[in-house]
């Protein structure tokens, strides 16, 4: 009895036995995604209690990604004090994570728990493209944010003239434009499954959402992630080295009374270092959640898909849960975000003058 294994993006990794349905020696009844439908996929759902637990865990992650990132977007776009190039990048990053929680996670949740895709073939392709688009959009936003932080920390006084709102807008447009164009062109041209045609035909069934990736595209996707990651790590390494030097210079200053310009420079540098630290943590969390999945995908593509399905599901949902992490990081490290949440939840932002409220406890 021959079992074929195929690795799919978005958690749809399953074992399909070609002869299972027609095998007269099969002892247990076979559950299908669609009864009385030819070529229906085999259904392997969880028992009731684990199913409820999984729906609770996955559903909580989706809600956290949606509402947490929505708070970030509302806060930055509503309060005038937050209208900075960095915050616009953060808002756009939150938009990508918000869309993951809204358009990707709910449908992946049903697929992961029920082991079937009930939402149609056309939406399956859209879902896969959305998944890839938002992933790369997050990556490129973080990359541009690291460049922004590098300029801000190394030259805080000149930074406002180098990284302006229009420049931030260009970075946002490039991040979204490339990500959406790449993902949709990859899957709608069929380039992703070149060389896998026979295997895909053999494994195609009703109730599956298949997005096969050949070895070349798996390797390209890994490099597309790995190269910007190395660039970000390099930039943040330089940022924290410069920040440490700045802190030492301030501490070693023998004069208790500094000129106003020098005092202002120190305050600005301190603020920019804190922002860089927080965003560096967000980038580190992104890598922690994404690297295991990407490394496993690369190994699987060249090692005949050796990862057990349940392990792969854990890695995929770790990636999805990353979209819910950034709002928690901001809430923990940014007092202004905690204050903005209180104003939004209490409804005080509905006042006419709410956009001009001061969110900072002290002047930068």
pTM of the complete model? 0.82
Predicted confidence at residue 72, as pLDDT, reads 94
- CA atoms of 358 and 97, how far apart (whole Å): 27
Q: Which two tokens stand for residue 41?
A: 């996929």
pLDDT tens per residue, range 280-300: 788 888 888 988 988 888 887
The residue among 93, 82, 73, 88 whose CA lies nearest residue 141 is 93
List 8's β-bridge partners, or say none.
212
The architecture (CATH level 2) of 3-356 comes to: Up-down Bundle (1.20)
Going by DSSP bridges, is the β-strand pair 3-6/14-17 parallel, antiparallel, or unpaired?
A: antiparallel
Residue range 31-70, pLDDT digits in tens: 888 888 888 888 887 888 999 999 999 999 999 999 999 9
- b/e sequence 245-268, b meaning 16+ C-beta within 10 Å: ebeeeeeeeeeeeeeeeeeebbeb
Read out DSSP for 231-245? Answer: HHHHHHHHHHHHHHH
Residue 91's pLDDT is: 95
With 80 as the cut, is the pLDDT of residue 271 above it?
no
Q: What is the distance between the alpha carbons of residues 66 and 98, in angstroms, rounded to a whole number?
A: 5
Rounded distance between C-alpha atoms, residue 191 and residue 316, angstroms? 23
Domain boundaries, the chain: 3-356
Find residue 42's DSSP bridge partners. Answer: 32
What's the average model confidence in pLDDT over 195-204? 70
Concatenating the DSSP letter of every residue in 92-133 gives HHHHHHHHIIIIIHHHHHHHHHHSS--S-HHHHHHHHHHHHH
Question: Is 170's pLDDT higher than 90?
Answer: yes
> Mean pLDDT of all residues in the chain?
81
pLDDT at 201 over 80: no
Residue 21 vs residue 219, higher pLDDT: 219
Mean pLDDT of 165-184: 95
Model confidence at 255: pLDDT above 60: no
Collect all residues with Cβ–Cβ distance below 8 Å to 26 and sequence separation of at least 6.
20
Question: Per-residue pLDDT for 260 more than 70?
Answer: no
- What pLDDT is attached to residue 153? 83
pLDDT band at 302 (very low <50, low <70, confident <90, very high): confident
CA 13 to each of CA 6, 108, 208: distance values in angstroms, whole numbers, following the listed order: 6, 12, 10
Q: Residue 142 to residues 20, 133, 208, 284: CA-CA distances in angstroms?
A: 46, 14, 33, 10
pLDDT per residue as tens digits for the range 88-126: 999 999 999 999 999 999 999 999 999 899 998 889 989
Return the bridge partners of 40, or none. Answer: 206
- Token code pair at residue 302: 């060249």
pLDDT value, residue 311: 86
pLDDT value of position 109: 95
Q: What is the dihedral of CA 153, 158, 161, 167, to 10 degrees?
A: -20
What is the CB neighbour count within 10 angstroms for residue 15? 14
pLDDT confidence of residue 354 = 86
* Separation between Cα atoms, residue 233 and residue 239, nearest integer Å: 10
Spatial contact of 320 and 100, defined as CB atoms under 8 Å apart:
yes
Minimum mean pLDDT range among 133-137, 155-159, 243-247 = 243-247
In DSSP terms, 152 is beta-bridged to: none
pLDDT at 27 over 70: no
pLDDT for 317: 93
pLDDT given for residue 280 in this prediction: 78
276 or 106, higher pLDDT: 106
Q: At what angle do helices 48-78 and 325-333 cross, to 10 degrees?
A: 50
| Model pLDDT, residue 3 | 29
Residue 225's pLDDT band (boundaries 50, 70, 90)? Answer: confident
pLDDT for 110 equals 93
Q: For the chain, what percent of residues have pLDDT higher than 90? A: 30
pLDDT of residue 265: 55
**How much is the pLDDT for 68?**
94
Q: In whole angstroms, give the CA distance from residue 244 to residue 273.
A: 9
pLDDT at 4 over 50: no
pLDDT confidence band for 301 (50 / 70 / 90): confident
Q: Is the pLDDT of residue 22 over 60?
A: no
């Amino acid at each position: 009895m021959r079992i074929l294994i195929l690795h799919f993006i978005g958690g749809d990794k399953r074992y399909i036995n070609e002869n299972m349905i027609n095998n007269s020696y099969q002892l247990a009844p076979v559950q299908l995604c669609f009864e009385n439908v030819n070529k229906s996929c085999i259904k392997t759902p969880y028992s009731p209690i684990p199913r409820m637990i999984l729906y609770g865990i996955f559903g909580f992650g989706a809600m956290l990604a949606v509402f947490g990132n929505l708070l970030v977007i509302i806060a930055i776009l509503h309060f005038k004090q937050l209208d900075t190039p960095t915050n616009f990048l953060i808002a756009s990053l939150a938009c990508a994570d918000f869309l993951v929680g809204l358009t990707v996670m709910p449908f992946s949740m049903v697929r992961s728990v029920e082991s079937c895709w009930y939402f149609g073939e056309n939406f399956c392709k859209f879902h896969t493209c959305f998944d890839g688009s938002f992933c790369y959009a997050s990556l490129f936003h973080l990359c541009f944010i690291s460049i922004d932080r590098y300029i801000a920390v190394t030259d805080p006084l000149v930074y406002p003239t180098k990284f302006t709102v229009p420049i931030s807008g260009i970075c946002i447009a490039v991040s979204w434009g490339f990500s959406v164009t790449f993902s949709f062109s990859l899957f709608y041209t069929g380039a992703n499954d070149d060389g896998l045609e026979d295997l895909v035909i053999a494994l195609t069934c009703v109730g599956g959402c298949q997005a096969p990736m050949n070895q070349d595209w798996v390797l390209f996707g890994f490099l597309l992630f790995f190269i910007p990651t190395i660039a970000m790590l390099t930039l943040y390494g330089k940022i924290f080295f410069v920040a440490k030097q700045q802190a030492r210079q301030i501490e070693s200053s023998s004069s208790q009374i500094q000129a106003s310009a020098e005092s202002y420079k120190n305050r600005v540098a301190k603020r920019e270092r804190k922002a860089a630290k927080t965003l560096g943590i967000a980038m580190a969390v992104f890598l922690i959640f994404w690297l295991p999945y990407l490394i496993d995908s690369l190994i699987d593509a060249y090692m005949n898909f050796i990862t057990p399905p349940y392990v792969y599901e854990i890695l995929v949902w770790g990636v999805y849960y990353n979209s819910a992490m950034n709002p928690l990081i901001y809430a923990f490290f940014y007092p202004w975000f905690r204050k903005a949440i209180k104003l939004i939840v209490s409804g005080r932002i509905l006042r006419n003058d709410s956009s001009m409220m001061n969110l900072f406890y002290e002047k930068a």
